[in-house]
Amino acid sequence: MTNFDTTLRLGAMTLALAAPLAVATPAIAQEYPDPAQTLDWTIAFGPGGGNDIMARTIVDILNTYDLYPGDISIENRAGGSGAVGWGYLFGQAGSGYGISTTSGSFVTTPLQADTPWQPADFTPVALLATDDLVLVVNGSSEIQDINEFIAYAQANPITIAGTGTVNVDFIVPTLFAQEAGFEFEYVSFNSMADQTTALLSDSVDAMVGNPGEILGLIDSGDLRALVYSGASSPAALEGVPTMGDVGHDIGVSMPRGLILPPDAPAEAQQFWIETMQRVVQTPEWAAYIENNTLTPTVLYGDEFRTFLTNTQNGFEEVLRSVGAIQ
C-alpha cells in the first residue's frame, strides 16, 4: 500500500468518526428576543382611544430605555369591539413576536360574539392598571350636572355613546341607569374619535369615556363632565361627583394589561414580565398613570390570567342580569 493510499484510508476513517459526533451535537437554542425579528404589536381599536394611548406609551418607553432590541411594528386592527385585533393575535399561536394590550372589551367581547378565543387562551404578561369612566355631555348642552341629566333622562328618550358593543362602556351606563331609574339607547362606535365627533355634532345625547382620552375637551369646555364611575374622582376631575356620591355606586373597572399569543414560548413570557417590571418603574409610566387618571394595579403571569377569568365571570353575571346576553 502506498503512502497515498494510507492517507486516503485514514482520511475516510476520520470523516466517518467525525460525522456521528457532528449529528449528536445539540443545537444552540435561539435567545429571545432575536433582534432580527420584528415585534408585531396589535392595537385592537382605532387611534386615540385608551387602548391606543397605553400601547404607544409602552412602546415609547421601550424605545427610550432600549428595552427591546429589535424593531416594533404597531398596527391598529380595529373592528368587532376588539374581536378583529385579538383574533389576529390568536392566529399567531406559538409565536413570541406578537403582542397586544387589553381593555374591558377583551373580557366582554367573547361573551356576546362567537369568537374562537377566550381571554384565558392567551399568554398573560401583566395587568398594569385599571380605569373608570366619566359620563359627559356636549359643552353647549343645557344640562349642567348629573341630577339634571337624570331628571331629563327620566322624562325623555336619550342616547349614550361608547366604544364597542357589549363591554364596559355599555355595562357602566346600564348599571347606572338601572340605579337612577331611567332608560337609554346605547350607540356603539369603533373609536373614541368617532363617538366624540357624534357627541359634538349632537348626534347623541351623552357618552362615556376614559377621562385621559377626553380631558383636553373637558378642560376646554367642549365637553361637560357629569359623573365618574370610580370610587373617588381624580384630581383632574375635581368637583365631578362619583356615582357613589349621588347614591348609585356600580363598582365596575376596566382592566388594562399586556398579552402574548396562545402558547407563546416561556422565555418570551418571562422576558416581557421582567421588561414590564422595569417599564412600570419609569417616570414616564407614572406620568401616564396620572395623566390618564388610572389606578396602578399590577399582576404578572398566571395571577393576571386568574384576574381576567374572575373579571369575565363577573361581567357575564352582570350582562345576563340585564338581558344583554343569553
In a domain, 293, yes or no: yes
**Does one domain contain both 206 and 286?**
no
Distance from C-alpha of 169 to C-alpha of 184, rounded to nearest angstrom = 13
Domain count, the chain: 2
Q: Decide if pLDDT at 74 tops 50.
A: yes
- Domain containing residue 150: CATH number: 3.40.190.10
Whether residue 28 lies inside any domain: the answer is: no
Quick check: 267 and 95 in contact, CB under 8 A? no
Res. 29: pLDDT tops 50: no
Q: Could you tell me which residues come within 8 angstroms of residue 9 by beta carbon, excluding any fewer than 6 positions away?
A: none
CA 104 to each of CA 58, 176, 210, 212: distance values in angstroms, whole numbers, following the listed order? 18, 17, 12, 16
List of residues 6+ apart from 130 with CB closer than 8 A? 253, 254, 255, 256, 294, 295, 297
Query: Are 121 and 167 part of one and the same domain?
Result: no
Residue 224 has a pLDDT of: 98
Give percent of the chain with pLDDT exceeding 70: 91
Same domain, 161 and 231: yes
Q: Mean pLDDT over residues 77-81, rounded?
A: 94
Which residues contact residue 198 at a Cβ distance below 8 angstroms, ignoring those fewer than 6 apart?
A: 161, 187, 189, 204, 207
Task: Let me know whether 221 and 296 are in one domain.
Answer: no
* Residue 300 forms part of a structural domain: yes
Question: How does DSSP classify residue 246?
Answer: T
Partnered with residue 206 across adjacent β-strands are: 160
- Note whether residue 8 is domain-resident: no
Q: 181, 209, 237 — which closes off a domain? A: 237
Residue 126: inside a domain, yes or no? yes
Q: Could you tell me if 176 and 264 lie in one domain?
A: no
pLDDT in tens, 274-314: 999 999 999 999 999 988 888 788 999 999 999 999 888 88
Which domain covers residue 216, as residue numbers? 134-237
Statement to judge: residues 215 and 310 lie in one domain: no
Asked whether residue 63 falls in the same domain as residue 203, the answer is no
Residue 235 scores a pLDDT above 60: yes
**pLDDT tens digits for range 175-230:** 899 999 999 999 999 889 999 999 999 999 999 998 888 999 999 999 999 999 98
Q: Are residues 96 and 152 in the same domain?
A: no
Q: Are residues 147 and 217 in the same domain?
A: yes
Would you say residue 5 has pLDDT above 80?
no
Mean pLDDT value across the chain = 89
Which tens digits make up the pLDDT trace of 148-164?
Answer: 999 999 999 999 999 88
Q: CA distances (Å), 111 to each of 117, 309, 315, 320, 325, in order? A: 11, 12, 9, 10, 7
pLDDT of residue 30: 65
Examine the domain organization and report whether 228 and 283 are in the same domain: no
Grid coordinates representing 314? 363577573
Domain boundary at 172, 204, 237, which?
237
C-alpha cell at 191: 373609536
pLDDT at residue 50, as a whole number: 86
Name the band, by pLDDT with cuts 50, 70 and 90, for residue 252.
confident
119 with 264, same domain?
A: yes
Q: Are residues 155 and 116 in the same domain?
A: no
User: Domain ends where: 183, 208, 237?
Assistant: 237
Q: pTM value?
A: 0.71
Residue 14 has what pLDDT? 40
State the pairing for strand pair 72-76/39-43: parallel
Q: Is residue 15 part of a domain?
A: no
